[in-house]
Structure 1
């Protein structure tokens, strides 16, 4: 029986907690630098989801999973949120390998663009709701 997490637009959302995800401690020293860099789209998104303000769901920012640092992670759902900006240009193969690896761990990935976060935030948040309902709803 799945454990109830929250409700989004009348749909019950159930936990999909994945235990024992791989973790490379050598990446820890990069975390504070990435957070301090203050990438605008990440800051904007973080303000929408921090402190359980988005449907009472707990988001982590800059989470190490294996040999990667993901932009945002929802532990109770096994959900990675990636904001693709200019740093992803010409990195399609790297992104594909990274996504395949994360999905092999049982994680779901929700990708959004830097542009959409900056210019279409309400659409991004609705799409995130729909993604969560589709993947974690009953």
Structure 2
């Protein structure tokens, strides 16, 4: 059972180390255009009640957006995520985050920039499911 597993952590940060917190501060200060646009939506109704956080440390990773209340990570991926090597890393990362009982949704920068309405609909559907 996961709850008996020493690698399963119920805290908001899932065992993140201090180095991760230093990196998240830098990422928070230099968001991508897509991250800025999505953040503007997540801090307003109807999403603000879920208290999303930007560049939130989880385990060995930094999630672009995280709601501890929903146990939901939203990732916004740039072009470098298209390489086969990065896709493997992203899959491993997703599995490790899901192991902590957290759902993960991924969008590309292009999806966020070009079709925000669809992105928000997908997020809403995930929240309501």
Q: Name the TM tier (shorter chain).
A: 0.7 to 0.9
Contact 1:51–1:58 under 8 Å retained in 2: no
Structure 2: state its 5+ residue gaps. Answer: 1-8
The TM-score, its normalising length taken from structure 2, stands at 0.83
Which structure shows the bigger proportion of residues in helix conformation? 2
2:78 match: 85
Q: How many residue pairs are counted as aligned between the two chains?
A: 117
| Whole-Å separation in 2 of the counterparts to 1:46 and 1:67 | 22
1:114 match: 109
1:12 match: none
| Whole-Å separation in 2 of the counterparts to 1:77 and 1:26 | 26
Q: What do you get for the CA RMSD once the two structures are aligned? A: 1.6
1:70 match: 63
| Whole-Å separation in 2 of the counterparts to 1:94 and 1:41 | 21
Deviation for aligned residue 1:19: 2.7
Deviation for aligned residue 1:53: 5.1
Which structure shows the bigger proportion of residues in strand conformation? 1
Q: Which protein, 1 or 2, shows the higher relative CO under an 8 Å CA cutoff with sep ≥ 6?
A: 1
- Which sits farther off after the overlay, 69-78 or 33-42? 33-42
| Whole-Å separation in 2 of the counterparts to 1:53 and 1:61 | 17
Deviation for aligned residue 1:88: 1.2
1:100 match: 95
1:53-77 CA distances to partner (integer Å, 9 max, x unpaired)? Answer: 5262210000101110010000101
The TM-score, its normalising length taken from structure 1, stands at 0.78
